[in-house]
Structure 1
Amino acid sequence: MFTPDTYAARRAALAQQAGSGLILLLGNADSPMNYTDNIYPFRQDSSFLYTFGLDMPGLAGVIDIDADTATLYGDDVSLDGIVWIGPQATLAELARSVGVIEAKPLAKLADRIAKARDAGRAVHYLPPYRAELRLWLAELLSLYVNAVDAGVSEKLTQAMIALRSIKSDAEIAQMENALDVAQRMHLLAMRSARNGVKEQEIVGLMTGLAASQGRALAYPIIFSRDGHILHNHGHGYTLKTGDLVVNDAGAESPLHYASDITRTTPVGGRFSERQRVVYQAVLDAQLAAIDAMKPGISYREIHDHAARVLVAGVEPLALFKASAEEVVHSGAYALLFPHGLGHHIGLDVHDMEALGEDRVGYGEGVSRSNEFGRRSLRLGKPLHAGNVVTVEPGAYFIPALIERWEAEGRHASLINYASFNACKDFGGIRIEDDVLVTAGGARVLGKPIPKTVADVEALASA
């Protein structure tokens, strides 16, 4: 954990922005897979982790804004529990470890909330994203379950987003710790992507490497020669020379900060000429985006800049019939690049999106587009020093999308459908890094992972 003072300072900053009343933060509970005692690996709620730091089920925290106090609610482990999980720290000891003086049994939480409501005090809570949290809030607040969302505190939610959006040096260190493991996972995958090897074998190697370091995956691994399927979690294909494999994989740090890296590898160690052209265009787009990042510029501007570089880079394939500026302005580029350039990353791989994707990624004069492609941009608002975001342009040839757009005659004057149809067997390419916005620009976090054509070919053929 961080120091007790760190968590105390976070709670104080949150209280200062939330106004008055109580702040109620619920931790996650164990989730059974198929019966009560067979549970999924526990993952604490990230906002609870941020403010109370304790990584175990059955906890809740209350911050009394007006009294300037914090209380941890939970229960000491019973003797029966100790038999199964061993001796545990007491609730009071846990509270002290995160700078909280007062610790009370969980059964007393309902009375605390009821008294505050009877006194007309506000009870601020965040949007619930799990059914059990919604049910717990409904019980504590005497609400119908379908009324819980309407009572979410916009003030508290915006305050939490503002605080978590700016990463401290200690948080950056955690993210680079996670990236150390991610780097090793990607190097292993690049060396292992050989003719005759099954995708699932390489996924198993990466998963095992993370587990050997005591780390959880930050998200389910995407490792597929069908890279045009953006979130393909199937791993049943046997690789063959000439395939392109998209590997989107990351691990968590000991304190659950995420890493999120994508590389694309040619099986057999050499890109074909067509693959090389598209790969270099994607890489140029990523490098141009990182170079353009700085405080004050909107990420939507960076997205469009990357798209223009990408479209210009694939000119040798004659995919488009107009200038890069015209193709991007029209939205025709999204046939090749149908997703957003990136998103916040931190305690969540898509950081804070449980609090509302538009709340996190928009505002400050920028609203989400309804246009295909741009509407999938999860982050559009201006960047600030201390933000950490992913930069992940890609190029994909999605047969169903090509066929639909061609049948509709969409952007027919700008898109060369004959060239797109000739590439239906291509698959996809994505290149992604985690990038810190600094006062003067941006810095790619973590140790370098090969991404130039020469470096990727060298590693994949070694």
Structure 2
Amino acid sequence: MFEKSTYINRRKALKSKGLKGIGIFLGNNESPMNYRDNTYHYRQDSSFLYFFGLNFPGLVGIVDFDSGDDYIFGDDVDIEDIIWMGTQVPLTENAAKAGVHNTAPFTKVFDIVTKATASGRKVHFLPPYRGENKILLEKLLGTSSLVVSSQASLELIKAVISIREIKEVQEVEEIKRACKTGLQMHVTAMRMAQVGTWEQKIAGTIEGVALAGGGMTSFPIILSQNGETLHNHDHSQTLKEGKLMLCDAGAESLLHYASDFTRTTPVGGEFTQKQREIYEIVLAANNKATLLTKPGVTYLSVHLAAAEVIAAGLKELGLMKGDVKEAVAAGAHALFLPHGLGHMLGLDVHDMEDLGQINVGYDNEVQPVDQFGTAYLRLGKRLKPGFVVTNEPGCYFIPALIDKWYAEGINKDFINFDKVNEYRDFGGIRLEDDILVTDTGSEIIGERVPIDPDEVEEIVQKG
């Protein structure tokens, strides 16, 4: 945990947002793998962690916006728990670490919520994403678990986002720790990118690097020589000569802050001419995005600028044609870049996505673009100092998508399909860095994961 003043100040900031009534923050419980007592690795809810800091199951936090009081509800362990888990710190002592002095057994949360609703006070809660918490809210509020998510408090959602989106100095330091582990994961993967290596061996090895760093992976590892599948969690193949290995992976710090990097590596350690040409285009788009990432600009504009770099590079290779700006405006680049440039990063790898991406990434000024490719941009609004984002442009050759666009004549004025067909077995390239928006611009967090193509080749060749 951070110092208790951190959590006191965060809740104080939340109370300053003008909400009335009470706010419920549900902690997560253990999640069974295949039977009740065999559970997945525990992960606390991120908003609960942010405001209350306690990283164990069976807790509910409440903030009273009218009185200013804070509460934590949970049960102390009994002798059977102690036998299996050892002596545990009482709830009162744990709560005090977060600056909370009002504690009670878990069932007492029903009393405070019932009293609030009976007196007509507003009960705010964030969208639940786990079934057991939907059921708990159903019991607390008398609302069906099937519809309770739609009744989450937009006021509380916006208030939480406005606080969490600006990263404190100590949060950036935690992200740096996660990035340090992420760097080790990716360099390890590069060294293992040899002909005949089983993808699962690489994925399992770098997951071990994350665990050895004190946390766990920040999301399931994406690693494949079929990088044209954007979220390829299949690790069943052995690496082949002439292929590219795309690795998208990150780690969590001890306090659960995330890193998220992507690198694309030539199997065996040597790019072909085609591969290097496309790689250089994606790298140029990545560097351009970081250059443009600064306070006051919309991230949507950064995305479109990166798309123009990719379109211009592909035009130079004969894969695209026509005016580059017109091509991007028409969405022609999305044949090769069918996703957004990046997303926010913090306690979640897609930070606060459980609160609704439209609320996290957009606002009244900047709304999502209803166009294939750009529609998947998770963040579009103006950037502020303290934002942490990922810049991750890519270029992919997806045979099914190529066939669809060709058959339907989509953007035929901007795409040379005959040339594109020469790349059908290319795969995909994505290059992703973690970026802190500063007062005057932006900076890559921590040491940059090797990205220069010559350096990447050298790492693989040395093994």
What TM bracket, shorter-length normalisation?
over 0.9
CA contact (8 A) 1:17 1:159 kept: yes
Mapped to 2, the partners of 1:234 and 1:101 lie a distance apart of: 48
For residues 356-400 of structure 1, what are the alpha-carbon distances to aligned partners after superposition, in whole Å with 9 as ceiling and x for unaligned? 011111114111112100100010111111000000000000000
CA contact (8 A) 1:18 1:156 kept: no
Letter in structure 2 aligned against 1:436? L
Mapped to 1, the partners of 2:196 and 2:62 lie a distance apart of: 56
Letter in structure 2 aligned against 1:319? L
Partner of 2:158: 158
Q: CA deviation at 1:311?
A: 1.3
For residues 338-362 of structure 1, what are the alpha-carbon distances to aligned partners after superposition, in whole Å with 9 as ceiling and x for unaligned? 0000000100000000000111111
Partner of 2:76: 76
Q: CA deviation at 1:421?
A: 1.1
Structure 1 stretch 103-112 or stretch 319-328: which is displaced more? 319-328
CA contact (8 A) 2:433 2:448 kept: no
Partner of 1:44: 44
Partner of 1:86: 86
Partner of 1:273: 273
CA contact (8 A) 1:277 1:314 kept: no
CA contact (8 A) 1:285 1:310 kept: yes
Structure 1 stretch 194-203 or stretch 393-402: which is displaced more? 194-203
Partner of 1:259: 259
Mapped to 2, the partners of 1:283 and 1:30 lie a distance apart of: 41
Mapped to 2, the partners of 1:441 and 1:231 lie a distance apart of: 30
Mapped to 2, the partners of 1:85 and 1:314 lie a distance apart of: 58
Mapped to 2, the partners of 1:310 and 1:327 lie a distance apart of: 11
Letter in structure 2 aligned against 1:361? G
Letter in structure 1 aligned against 2:328? V
Mapped to 2, the partners of 1:128 and 1:361 lie a distance apart of: 19
CA contact (8 A) 2:127 2:150 kept: no
Aligned-residue CA RMSD in angstroms?
Answer: 0.9
Mapped to 2, the partners of 1:27 and 1:455 lie a distance apart of: 44
2:170 pairs with 1:149: no
Mapped to 2, the partners of 1:54 and 1:74 lie a distance apart of: 11
Q: How high is the TM-score relative to the length of structure 2?
A: 0.98
Q: CA deviation at 1:18?
A: 4.6
Mapped to 2, the partners of 1:199 and 1:323 lie a distance apart of: 40
Structure 1 residues 160-239: aligned runs within 5 Å:
160-239=160-239
Mapped to 2, the partners of 1:56 and 1:451 lie a distance apart of: 38
Mapped to 2, the partners of 1:254 and 1:340 lie a distance apart of: 29
Point out where structure 2 has 5 or more consecutive residues left out of the alignment. Answer: none
Point out where structure 1 has 5 or more consecutive residues left out of the alignment. Answer: none
Mapped to 2, the partners of 1:135 and 1:14 lie a distance apart of: 26
For residues 93-122 of structure 1, what are the alpha-carbon distances to aligned partners after superposition, in whole Å with 9 as ceiling and x for unaligned? 011011101111001000110011111111
CA contact (8 A) 2:214 2:253 kept: no
Percent identity over the alignment is: 48
Letter in structure 2 aligned against 1:295? P
Q: Is the partner of 1:194 in helix, strand or coil? A: coil
Partner of 1:384: 384
Mapped to 1, the partners of 2:211 and 2:152 lie a distance apart of: 37
CA contact (8 A) 2:435 2:444 kept: yes
CA contact (8 A) 1:337 1:396 kept: yes
Structure 1 residues 47-446: aligned runs within 5 Å:
47-446=47-446
Aligned residues, how many? 462
Q: Is the partner of 2:203 in helix, strand or coil? A: helix
CA contact (8 A) 1:18 1:159 kept: no
Q: How high is the TM-score relative to the length of structure 1?
A: 0.99
Partner of 1:19: 19
For residues 279-326 of structure 1, what are the alpha-carbon distances to aligned partners after superposition, in whole Å with 9 as ceiling and x for unaligned? 000000000010011111101100000011111122343111112212
Mapped to 2, the partners of 1:204 and 1:295 lie a distance apart of: 38
Mapped to 2, the partners of 1:302 and 1:442 lie a distance apart of: 13
2:35 pairs with 1:35: yes
